[in-house]
Amino acid sequence: MKHKIKYLLVALLMIVCSQSWGQTTKWCDVHQVAKRETIFGIAKSYNVSIQDLLNANPEMKVPGYELKKGTWIFVPFAKAGDQKAEIAYVNNSSAVTPTASQVASNVIKVGVMLPLHNNDGDGKRMIEFYRGMLLAFNELKKEGFTTDVHAWNVPIDGDINKTLQDRNAASMNMIFGPLYSNQVKTLSDFCKNHGIKMIVPFSINGNEIAENTNFFQVYENNDIQSTKAIAAFLERFKKSHHPVFIDCNDDKSKVGAFTSTLRRQLELDKVAYDLTNLNSSDVDFAKHFSKTVPNVVILNSEKSPQLNAVITKLNTLTKANPGLAISLYGYNQWFMYQDYVLASFFKYNVYIPSTYYYNKNSDKTRAFEKLYTTTYGEAMNNTYIPRIAINGYDQVQFFVRGYKKQGAKFKGVASDVAYKSLQNRFNFEKIGQGGYRNKFFQLIHFKLDQTLESLVY
């Protein structure tokens, strides 16, 4: 389904004013600085003290800080016990006033329980995630969806039990959160008892998925991902390619367990492979590659310097041996380097196992990034892949559409949702007698003809 994204009302950014307990920062909404506005004037207009405004925005305390037009700043509550009335982001599906029964049946109530603050990296990332969610809600509004969204700031040291005492929490149809593993069981028990779908948007530890039929785990743990990546490798390359493992001398590698397990599996399957070293001489390096069958290269490092060094080594090798066929089997981290080595990805037929793909050249992605920048006055953080805001956007689109179609019976099956993701894709499977885990898995293939394909498993 194609979406034409043109604009978003500034009001979209208003963060939901919900009571926050046990946290270091309490804030009510977000204000975009207008021309000639001052810290004093903003504080006065919201009836808050200048010190409270500074505390909610630590960057203001940095020497030399200047308030600039278009900047978004957090606005704290006026004072304890005198907070603004709660604001829910409500999408009205039409100009016609619906009846009470229509509202009850059509409104999808969505809760967000994440660290929504500006104090550290987690908070800033989750704000970006939430911004993406808001863009999705607005897009759904244009299509006639009616949603009632409530957000709570639940930091790492927050008591989620107190958050759940909010009278609105129990009325949600779905809740996105939490971020931290130590808050999962409490929220899971709450959602289980109230029949609320609990969507855990990021990786967590724990086994609550086995106990709660309303539990949806978006990200599988690394062990499951590695198992799928190995299975995909064997299916695609075991019978047709010669595996070559390159030791990159990376003592801090995070993928050593993956390559070791893959090698053991090849040995069990009686598949011969070669092992060489990045520091080997060019002559010795070349001896480990087959000239009669295609080679598939696996590095025991996910890092950029090692990848660049291997590419340089392969360039020398293929220059001396023009007919050599080589593919690379990589890691998610490589997506962050593709701007610099994209030509090499195509040249060496790179395959990357993943549950997502950020395609910055897609028209839809470009439209989303433009909308994000226009709406929030700044570009998305480009440090992370997958992009945090797009992740939030995709998750809302998938779950709200699915819930609209099937209600409480929605089980997260991809074929039940008419939505083509921008980046993160979903297809959930039931885990025993418990909840659901996203099983979507693909290989992103950078083909020799300079095109991309997604090989879904």
pLDDT per residue of the chain (457 residues) written in tens, 0 to 9: 333 322 333 334 443 333 333 333 345 567 778 888 888 788 888 888 888 788 777 677 766 777 888 777 877 766 543 333 333 333 333 333 434 433 445 899 999 999 999 889 999 999 999 999 999 999 999 999 999 999 999 999 999 999 999 999 999 999 999 999 999 999 999 999 999 999 999 999 889 999 999 999 999 888 999 999 999 999 999 999 999 999 999 999 999 999 999 999 999 999 999 999 999 999 999 999 999 999 999 999 999 999 999 999 999 999 999 999 999 999 999 999 998 999 999 999 999 999 999 998 899 999 999 999 999 889 999 888 899 999 999 999 999 999 999 999 999 999 999 999 999 999 999 999 999 999 999 999 999 999 999 999 9
**Looking at the domain assignment, is residue 236 inside a domain?**
yes
Q: What is the pLDDT of residue 272?
A: 98
pTM of the predicted model as reported, rounded to 2 decimal places: 0.78
Let me know whether 209 and 259 are in one domain: no
Measured distance CA(89)–CA(87) in Å, rounded: 7
Say whether 32 sits in a helix, a strand or coil.
strand
Q: Which of 321, 354, 387 is the last residue of a domain?
A: 354
Q: Which residues contact 272 (CB under 8 A, 6 or more apart)?
A: 242
Domain stop point among 354, 375, 403: 354
pLDDT of residue 21: 32
207 and 281, same domain (yes or no) = no
Q: The sheet that has 442-446: what strands, in order across it?
A: 274-277, 242-247, 295-299, 326-329, 351-354, 442-446, 452-456
pLDDT of the residue at 13: 40
Please state, in angstroms and as integers, the Cα–Cα distance from residue 316 to each residue in 150, 307, 311, following that order: 57, 14, 9
* The pLDDT of residue 66: 79
- Determine the pLDDT at residue 22: 32
| The pLDDT of residue 400 | 98
Q: Are residues 345 and 392 in the same domain?
A: no
Phi, psi of 306 (to 5 degrees): -70, -40
Q: Report residue 355: phi and psi, to 5°.
A: -100, 0
Residues 292 and 264: beta-carbon distance below 8 Å: no
Domain assignment of residue 396, yes or no: yes
Give the pLDDT confidence of 271-295 residue by residue, as tens digits.
Answer: 999 999 999 999 999 999 999 999 9
- List helix spans (H) across 327-432: 338-347, 363-376, 388-406
Would you give the distance in Å from CA 369 to the centre of its chain? 15
Task: Give yes or no: residues 410 and 287 share one domain.
Answer: no
Residue 237: give its domain's CATH number. 3.40.50
* pLDDT of amino acid 96: 36
105 in any annotated domain: yes
Specify if 196 maps to a domain.
Answer: yes
Q: Are residues 344 and 278 in the same domain?
A: yes
Encoded amino acid at 57, one letter: N
Q: Are residues 349 and 391 in the same domain?
A: no
The amino acid sitting at 270 is: K
**pLDDT for residue 47:** 81
Q: Do 349 and 248 share a structural domain?
A: yes
Question: Considering the chain, what is the average pLDDT of its residues?
Answer: 87
Distance CA 315, CA 408 (A): 55
Residue 277 maps to a domain: yes
Please answer whether residues 409 and 197 qualify as being in contact, where contact means their C-beta atoms are separated by less than 8 angstroms: no
Residue 296 lies inside a defined structural domain of this protein: yes
Predicted confidence at residue 79, as pLDDT, reads 54
DSSP codes of every residue in 69-109? TT-EEEEE-SSTT-PPPP--EE----SSPPPHHHHHHHEEE
Of 354, 384, 406, which residue constitutes the final position of a domain? 354
Residue 43 has a pLDDT of: 83
Question: What range defines the domain where residue 201 resides?
Answer: 87-219+363-440
Q: How far apart are CA 60 and CA 74, in angstroms?
A: 11
Total number of domains constituting the chain: 2
Contact (Cβ atoms closer than 8 angstroms) between residue 355 and residue 414: no
Same domain, 268 and 382: no
How wide is the angle at C-alpha 215 spanned by C-alphas 23 and 387, nearest 5°? 65
Q: Convert 56-70 to b/e letters by CB count within 10 Å (16 or more is b).
A: bbeebeeeeeeeeee
User: Do 327 and 374 fall within a single domain?
Assistant: no
Spatial distance between the Cα atoms of 320 and 336, rounded to a whole number of angstroms:
30
pLDDT score, position 29: 60
Structure confidence at residue 67 (pLDDT): 85
Q: Is residue 137 part of a domain?
A: yes
Whether residue 370 sits in one domain with residue 258: no
User: Per the domain annotation, does 374 fall within a domain?
Assistant: yes
Q: How far apart are CA 305 and CA 258, in angstroms?
A: 19
Q: Are residues 91 and 189 in the same domain?
A: yes
Q: 113 and 211 share a domain?
A: yes
